[in-house]
Amino acid sequence: MTVSALNKALLGKIETTPGTDAAPAAGTDAIRIISATPNLDVSPLEYDAVKQTFGKRVGPLDERAMSLDVEFYIRSGGALGTVPDFAPIAHAAAHTVASVANTSVSIDPVTAIGSARHTASFYYYEDGLQYKYIGAVCSAFSIDFPLDGEIRAKATITAPFLAPTAVALPTGLTYQSSDPIHPRPADVITDAGTAIRVGSFSFDSGIAGSVRRLIGGAEANVTARDRSKITISKDSLGTVADITRLTGVTAGSFSAVMGSAGNRLTLSSAKAYYGNLKSETQDVLMMRTIDLLLDETNGDDAYHILID
């Protein structure tokens, strides 16, 4: 069988009723991705039995869950206030995605989800196969901010098991046309209002999710959100003053503004705590890795993502 790495596509749409297929369409719901890897949690059942040979008996396949590791660029939706194509992924990672027409899009964490489960439907196509992730949540969501490349996010989409089927790549795929947001030396990152010299850093939402197996079906749920974290990499900090300021943060604010107006991302936290410091020698330079732990000030507000 010929396998082409080009015949891939991901469609995603927020579900109105959790667990009900939202039927994402090629013309309106295509998500431009960098890469995707489907994983099927399937194994044969084994059970003990008295028999005249070694080993256990092997029964039918035990279908548990499925996941999709996906990487994609962070970009605006085009016109100001247009929801970006990755909104279903952010929603499934327990975020609200709110747009203000002609102005901006806000992405904010939700932890007290209660009965309002944040789920989405995703169709992933790979060389003649279609994987359907229905009632899906994200069990991981993070963003990397490299100084020498585009801002990119990684997520793991998790859903109850559905066997892939033979379906051709859909025609009429339509993607948003905005470029990925690219960090620049002119961008501004501040700690408690004071500019700091930072190169590469990353953000981890701390989200976790899993599939619960039920009689008569299965259900994917977000199960936890550990302390969200920003990690400033070992090659980032330029001065002793920056180190001193960051390690002295007990409840300071953090803000990173990347890109230019119209295609700009702001990641901010009103209450960031110093979490960890690790030193390392690289050539003749002393490098350090610093973790900032993000805390809430009033409800689900540990961090805020703005695209404008």
Task: Express each pLDDT in 5-61 by its tens digit.
Answer: 678 999 999 999 999 999 999 999 999 999 999 998 877 767 777 777 777 777 666
- Cα-based distances in Å from 229 to 22, 205, 269, 275: 32, 7, 10, 9
Mean pLDDT of the chain: 84
Q: Looking at residue 223, what is its pLDDT?
A: 83
Closest CA to 143 of 96, 237, 206, 227: 206
Whether 112 has a pLDDT exceeding 70, the answer reads no
- Domains of the chain by residue range: 8-41+51-307
Q: Is 81 exposed, middle or buried (0-12, 13-18, 19+ CB in 10 A)?
A: middle
Task: Express each pLDDT in 185-237 by its tens digit.
Answer: 788 888 777 777 776 789 999 988 888 877 777 888 888 888 888 887 756 55
CB neighbours of 240 closer than 8 A, spacing ≥ 6? none
What does pTM read for this prediction?
0.88
Contact 14, 87 (CB under 8 A): yes
* Sign of the torsion formed by the C-alpha atoms of 191, 193, 194 and 195: positive
Q: Looking at residue 1, what is its pLDDT?
A: 47
CB neighbours of 84 closer than 8 A, spacing ≥ 6? 74, 75, 76, 77, 105, 176, 307
